[in-house]
Amino acid sequence: MRGSVGMLTDRSFKGTKRRQDDRHEPEFDESFRQQFEELLKWRRDVRSFRSEPVDARLVEHLISLASLAPSVGYSQPWRFVLVESDKCRESVRTNFEHCNREALKLYSGEKAQLYTSLKLAGLRDAPVQLAVFLSRSTDHGSGLGRSTMPETLEYSAVLAVHSLWLAARAHGLGLGWVSILDAMGVNRGLSVPSNWKLIAYLCIGYPKEDNSSPELLRCGWEATLPVGQLVLKR
Amino acid sequence: MRGSVGMLTDRSFKGTKRRQDDRHEPEFDESFRQQFEELLKWRRDVRSFRSEPVDARLVEHLISLASLAPSVGYSQPWRFVLVESDKCRESVRTNFEHCNREALKLYSGEKAQLYTSLKLAGLRDAPVQLAVFLSRSTDHGSGLGRSTMPETLEYSAVLAVHSLWLAARAHGLGLGWVSILDAMGVNRGLSVPSNWKLIAYLCIGYPKEDNSSPELLRCGWEATLPVGQLVLKR
């Protein structure tokens, strides 16, 4: 693959030692589970970043952890593009600004006012920008498990994003998923194959603040649904 | 919502105490990160379950953790259906068996032989079966962030599945995602609204064995892609 970069091969970062023998399953205890629940609770979609850079080896490590995600038929269809050049970043920012102006037109009154007040991207501040694509044409996995629900190939790449998101937060990093983008415009701006599908454009960096509740809840855009209302028994 | 069930409201299970004050961000240390990486590594797609039942409160707790997942515009579009009746389980099993026979026709030679040898569902053994749907028609979130990439609504439900998967593994549970299903047939079999989209049908229970590598790798169906080949710089 043209332009691929060297990666850590041992999936270690900063001298992380394997605590467990690979042959013996780890035992997760109550203390770990509590911390993991804190991680789920304090993971946020971050839009404001400090200027502090992120160690490139940490970013590579996060990508290697993302690649441990489940994938249908073990297809591993995720592809990662580290967006570093000013030209590429500018193309994504212009893309976002256009789409955001169009999206604003869908709202009126108070909702429109609130919309304009929201910071919906961190594209100027984020020291790391990572586009995650799906390789639609991959024959890895030989199609297993996706004849009836082919969208599970896309879902596999989404699972990789979530693994990366949680791992980033465990390292004190914030991540913001920008979806107000014309996907094909991103492909063109980044010169990636047209049969790759943009799954997520991620802004990553050390966050200006941490929160245990979503910004869209705090600012009054949307309320939390009671979990009990989301469950049926059959 | 007809048939909704009472849920734990405090998101606690088995006396789990909040270690952190909600106002102060948790500090994740190296020891936690190592264990979290073990969790990513030892999470598996499980197809063989022990008969031991799973505490219903634990299942409810896992659903409440899944509901902490990110969602576009804070839309929280995930809906969960606990499939408990013999009739509903039988309809899903019949659905799978039909689709699996059809999928087998796509393979020939060695791949067909290997396919028939794979256990692709745990629908007979799994003590817990949970269908995760997307409520397509939800206006929660007021469409924020999904005018250009509406598929992010689906992706939100996928993120909830992954949160649940990891949390289940941290509790020693295995989870298997069955995708060889006719989705609309599942809707009919479970009597859920036709505008709900099936995202995942999950089999959950205590696994017969733990592994740090995917079964499809171990059995020779597919190889691991080197992470370095999956990354471009732009």
Over residues B117-136, the pLDDT tens digits come to 988 889 999 999 999 999 99
In order, the DSSP letters of B155-219 are HHHHHHHHHHHHHHHHTT-EEEEE--S-HHHHHHHHT--TTEEEEEEEEEE-BS---SS-HHHHT
Q: Which residues of B touch A7 (CB under 8 A)?
A: 226-228, 231
What pLDDT, on a 0 to 100 scale, did the predictor assign at position A14?
Answer: 57
Over residues A88-104, the mean pLDDT reads 96
Digit-coded pLDDT (tens) for A194-221: 999 999 999 999 999 888 899 899 888 9
Q: What is the mean pLDDT of residues B20-48?
A: 88
- Residue B60 pLDDT more than 80? yes
**Residue B11: pLDDT above 50?**
no
In terms of pLDDT, which residue wins out, A18 or A120?
Answer: A120
pLDDT for the residue B23: 60
Average pLDDT over residues B102-131: 92
Q: What is the pLDDT of residue A23?
A: 60
* Of B17, B22, B171, Cβ closest to residue A212: B22
What is the complex's ipTM, to 2 decimals? Answer: 0.91
Contact B191, B83 (CB under 8 A): no
Query: pTM of the prediction?
Result: 0.91
Mean pLDDT for the stretch of residues B48-62:
96
Q: Which residues of B touch A77 (CB under 8 A)?
A: none
A158 to chain B: which residues are within 8 Å by CB?
155, 158-159, 162
Which pLDDT band, with edges at 50, 70 and 90, does A121 fall under? confident
Cα–Cα distance between A44 and A173 in angstroms, integer?
10
The band of A138, judged by pLDDT with boundaries at 50, 70 and 90, is confident
Q: What's the pLDDT at B137?
A: 86
> Minimal Cα–Cα distance from B205 to chain A, Å?
16
Q: How far apart are CA B200 and CA B133, in angstroms?
A: 7
Instruction: Find where tokens 């405090």 sit.
Output: B10
CB-CB: which of A36, A111, A222 is closest to B74?
A: A222
Give the distance from residue B38's alpha carbon to the nearest chain A alpha carbon, in angstroms: 7
Q: How far is the C-alpha of B154 from the C-alpha of A155, rounded, in Å? A: 9
Chain A residue at shortest CA distance from B81 = A232
pLDDT digits (tens, 9 = 90+) for A63-85: 999 999 999 999 999 999 999 99
Please determine, for residue B110, whether its predicted confidence score (pLDDT) is greater than 60. yes
Q: Which residues of A touch B217 (CB under 8 A)?
A: 74
- Quote the longest CA-to-CA distance of chain A: 60
User: CA-to-CA distance for B61 and B71, rounded, in angstroms?
Assistant: 19
Nearest to residue B226, comparing CAs of A217, A232, A191, A140? Answer: A140
Token pair for residue A181?
A: 């983008």
pLDDT at B92 over 80: yes
Closest residue, chain A, to B77 (C-alpha): A230
Alpha carbon of A233: minimum distance to chain B alpha carbons (Å): 5
Residue A13: per-residue pLDDT: 58
How far apart CA A128 and CA A175 sit, in angstroms, is: 9
Q: Which pLDDT belongs to residue B182?
A: 97
Predicted local confidence at residue B130, as pLDDT: 98
Which amino acid, one-letter code, is at B169? R
Minimal Cα distance from A115: which residue of B?
Answer: B144
pLDDT digit string, tens, across residues A35-59: 999 999 999 999 999 999 999 999 9
- For chain B, the average pLDDT equals 90
Give residue-wise pLDDT tens across range B173-203. 999 999 999 999 999 999 999 999 999 999 9
- The pLDDT assigned to B14 comes to 56
* CA B223/CA A71 separation, integer angstroms: 12
Min Cα–Cα distance to chain B from A125, Å: 18
Distance from C-alpha of A12 to C-alpha of B213, rounded to nearest angstrom:
17
Beta strands at A231-233 and A196-205: parallel, antiparallel or unpaired:
unpaired
Are B232 and A5 an interchain contact pair (Cβ–Cβ within 8 Å)? yes
CA dist., res. B163 & res. B41, Å (int): 15
**β-strand partners of B200:** B132
Over residues B133-151, the mean pLDDT reads 91
Q: Note whether B233 contacts A6, CB cutoff 8 Å.
A: no
pLDDT of the residue at B121: 83
Check residue B151 and give its pLDDT.
96
Q: Does A20 contact B38 at a Cβ distance shorter than 8 Å?
A: yes
Distance from CA of B209 to the nearest CA of A (A): 9
Which of A22, A30, A167 faces B212 most closely, judged by CB atoms?
A22
**Average pLDDT estimate for B204-222:** 91
Instruction: Look at residue A139 in the predicted model and tell me its pLDDT.
Output: 86
